[in-house]
């Protein structure tokens, strides 16, 4: 991909070490000012609610629960046998539906779902029919499979499951292990996209890359969001090892869009790209965030894409990390359309602005209540928690912020708590309904070590934890700037969302 002429870009023939340094260094001194951008926000309309409630029809609700119950009998998403043999066999008997449309494949540690949603919004704005597959879901399993920017209906979800059920059972009988929960859902997504049919699929990996069930597609564009330490028991103990696993989505001749990475991860990813004869575009070199301003309800961006600059792009999401996700998403869509390769001109700026202005990402610094303000964020590892903490400092004027944290037992909970410690006046620890949830008392013991005994309250039931946190926030008075941040797990956020009347 050629650099944008007229900008001060590093020479692409610079040494390998200089390239790595450039792509892993962000400008910490971006000017951040308060900007009123209600007009820009209005151009794209308000973000559409895309977290469906339970079906109103009792028969449909019953049928969906039956499908959910059948899927629940399979291996969950945390129990894996690293192989694509089962999903490949299912695709074979289904007639290889995943090969009937081009795809953009997304891996990384943090930011995958938000980036996928932005890519989907951009493609849709350019009048392409999209299919999006993401995980996990916030509230409804149907969120995972979207067509044209909206989750498929419960009826279509049930129908898709019934359509492939016999084939799934056939493969179950032929393999050493039955297809897992995630593998069946992946098969459903690929079949639903072919049946629609879609013009392009936007697919987020479940975990890793090489042996992830989604990796039976050959993505025309491979996107790697920032890599950090997570799922270390399965993916490796260093970012380089994790990058090696995630680089498996890079296919021969593809275009690779790399977010800024740790040095060792970047080296692994670039080496894989060379081996696959893939074209690489790197954040900080070929594309990136030029400027960013805090705005009403989000931020105002100037992005540099593969085809030039895109000024005054309103994004109704908070945080520098979302700005970088937007740059990655824009570059991915440009690459899909051949910008920087087959064509030099940028994408239509008005269409890009309209697409970004309509982006939503439920459970990602989502405000669900006022007086006091309650914010939900699905951060569940230290890097994600750090990004969230920085975004809260920047976007909200809380004078007293109360944390509600419910985490999974297999996560680096101490690292998450340490990231939030500077911004939480007090923390209410709790647990969600998942069997993976860390016991509230166990979580409290770690929290006391991080926050001190006086700043920690234990409420094992999430409804009680929310009530306690809201009460603590209200102690500042109605207009004093108290707030609540619910975080630690996508499941905790989803359950809190329901309790607070969303969906």
pLDDT at 479 (0 to 100): 53
Model confidence at 298: pLDDT above 90: yes
Other C-beta atoms lying within 10 Å of the C-beta of residue 174: 10
Average pLDDT over residues 105-119: 94
pLDDT at 233 (0 to 100): 53
| CB distance 430 to 462 below 8 Å | yes
| CB distance 338 to 309 below 8 Å | no
Pairing, β 426-429 against β 200-204: unpaired
Instruction: Give CA–CA dist 41/99, Å, rounded.
Output: 37
Q: What sign results for the dihedral spanned by CA atoms 390, 451, 417, 365?
A: negative
pLDDT at 208 (0 to 100): 78
Model confidence at 50: pLDDT above 70: no
pLDDT at 476 (0 to 100): 67
Name, in order, each residue with C-beta under 8 angstroms of 314's C-beta and a sequence gap of 6 or more: 37, 40, 41, 43, 44, 295, 298, 299, 300, 301, 353, 356, 357
Name, in order, each residue with C-beta under 8 angstroms of 157's C-beta and a sequence gap of 6 or more: 64, 67, 141, 142, 145, 188
**What b/e sequence results for 57-72 when a residue is b if at least 16 CB atoms lie within 10 Å of its CB, and e otherwise?**
eeebeebbeebeeebe
Q: How confident is the model at residue 371 (pLDDT cuts 50, 70, 90)?
A: confident
Length of the chain: 503
Other C-beta atoms lying within 10 Å of the C-beta of residue 85: 14
Q: Find how far residue 394's CA is from the centre of its chain.
A: 21
To 5 degrees, how large is the angle CA 287–CA 199–CA 87?
Answer: 95
Instruction: Give CA–CA dist 252/255, Å, rounded.
Output: 9
* Average pLDDT score, the chain: 87
Token pair of 220 as six digits: 């025309």
| CB distance 47 to 357 below 8 Å | no
Pairing, β 400-405 against β 373-376: unpaired
pLDDT at 98 (0 to 100): 98
The H-or-E segment that residue 39 falls in is: helix 38-44
The residue among 195, 161, 197, 204 whose CA lies nearest residue 181 is 161
Q: What sign results for the dihedral spanned by CA atoms 77, 78, 83, 85?
A: negative
pLDDT tens figures, 398-446: 999 999 999 988 889 999 999 999 999 999 999 999 888 999 999 999 9
Model confidence at 49: pLDDT above 50: no
Pairing, β 255-258 against β 366-369: unpaired
Q: Find how far residue 293's CA is from the centre of its chain.
A: 22
**What b/e sequence results for 301-337 when a residue is b if at least 16 CB atoms lie within 10 Å of its CB, and e otherwise?**
bebbbbbbbbeebbbbbbbbbbbbbbbbbbbbbbbbb
Average pLDDT over residues 482-494: 94
Average pLDDT over residues 365-393: 92
pLDDT at 235 (0 to 100): 59
- 438-444 own/partner pairs: CB under 8 Å, 24+ apart: 438/406, 438/407, 438/408, 438/409, 438/411, 438/413, 439/409, 440/406, 442/409, 443/405, 443/406, 443/407, 443/413
Percentage of the residues of the chain whose pLDDT score is greater than 70: 86
Q: How confident is the model at residue 109 (pLDDT cuts 50, 70, 90)?
A: confident
Average pLDDT over residues 464-482: 85
Helix (H, G, I), strand (E, B) or coil at 213: helix
């Amino acid at each position: 991909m050629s650099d944008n002429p007229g900008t001060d870009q590093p020479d692409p023939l610079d040494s390998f070490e200089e390239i790595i340094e450039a792509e892993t260094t962000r400008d910490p001194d971006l000017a951040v000012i308060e900007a009123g951008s209600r007009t820009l926000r209005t151009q794209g309309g308000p973000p559409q609610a895309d977290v469906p409630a339970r079906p109103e029809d009792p028969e449909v609700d019953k049928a969906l629960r039956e499908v959910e119950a059948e899927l629940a009998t399979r291996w969950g998403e945390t129990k894996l046998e690293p192989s694509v043999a089962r999903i490949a066999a299912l695709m074979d008997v289904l007639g290889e539906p995943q090969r009937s449309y081009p795809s953009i494949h997304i891996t990384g540690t943090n930011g995958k779902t938000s980036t996928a949603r932005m890519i989907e919004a951009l493609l849709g704005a350019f009048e392409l029919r999209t299919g999006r597959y993401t995980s996990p879901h916030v509230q409804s399993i149907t969120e995972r499979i979207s067509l044209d920017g909206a989750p498929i209906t419960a009826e279509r979800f049930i129908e898709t499951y019934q359509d492939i059920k016999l084939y799934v059972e056939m493969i179950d009988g032929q393999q050493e292990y039955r297809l897992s929960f995630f593998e069946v859902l992946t098969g459903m997504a690929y079949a639903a996209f072919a049946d629609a049919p879609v013009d392009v699929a936007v697919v987020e990996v479940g975990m890793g890359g090489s042996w992830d069930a989604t990796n039976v597609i050959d993505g025309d564009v491979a996107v790697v969001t920032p890599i950090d330490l997570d799922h270390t028991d399965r993916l490796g103990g260093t970012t380089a090892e994790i990058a090696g696993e995630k680089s498996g989505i890079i296919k021969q001749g593809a275009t690779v869009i790399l977010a800024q990475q740790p040095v060792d991860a970047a080296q692994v990813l670039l080496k894989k790209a060379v081996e696959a004869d893939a074209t690489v575009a790197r954040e900080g070199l070929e594309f990136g965030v030029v400027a960013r301003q805090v705005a009403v309800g989000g931020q105002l961006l100037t992005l540099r894409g593969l085809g030039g600059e895109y000024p005054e792009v309103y994004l109704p999401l908070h945080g520098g990390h979302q700005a970088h996700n937007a740059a990655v998403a824009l570059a991915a869509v440009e690459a899909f359309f051949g910008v920087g390769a087959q064509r030099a001109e940028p994408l239509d700026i008005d269409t890009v602005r309209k697409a970004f202005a309509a982006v939503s990402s439920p459970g990602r610094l989502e405000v669900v209540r006022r007086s006091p303000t309650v914010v939900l964020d699905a951060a569940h590892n230290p890097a994600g928690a750090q990004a969230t903490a920085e975004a809260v400092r920047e976007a909200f004027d809380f004078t007293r912020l109360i944390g509600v944290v419910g985490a999974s037992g297999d996560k680096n909970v101490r690292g998450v708590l340490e990231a939030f410690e500077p911004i939480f006046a007090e923390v209410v620890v709790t647990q969600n309904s998942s069997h993976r949830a860390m016991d509230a008392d166990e979580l409290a013991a770690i929290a006391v070590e991080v926050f001190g005994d006086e700043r920690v309250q234990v409420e094992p039931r999430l409804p009680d934890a929310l009530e306690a946190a809201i009460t603590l926030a209200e102690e500042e008075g109605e207009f004093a700037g108290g707030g609540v941040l619910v975080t630690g797990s996508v499941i905790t956020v989803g359950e809190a969302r329901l309790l607070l009347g969303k969906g």
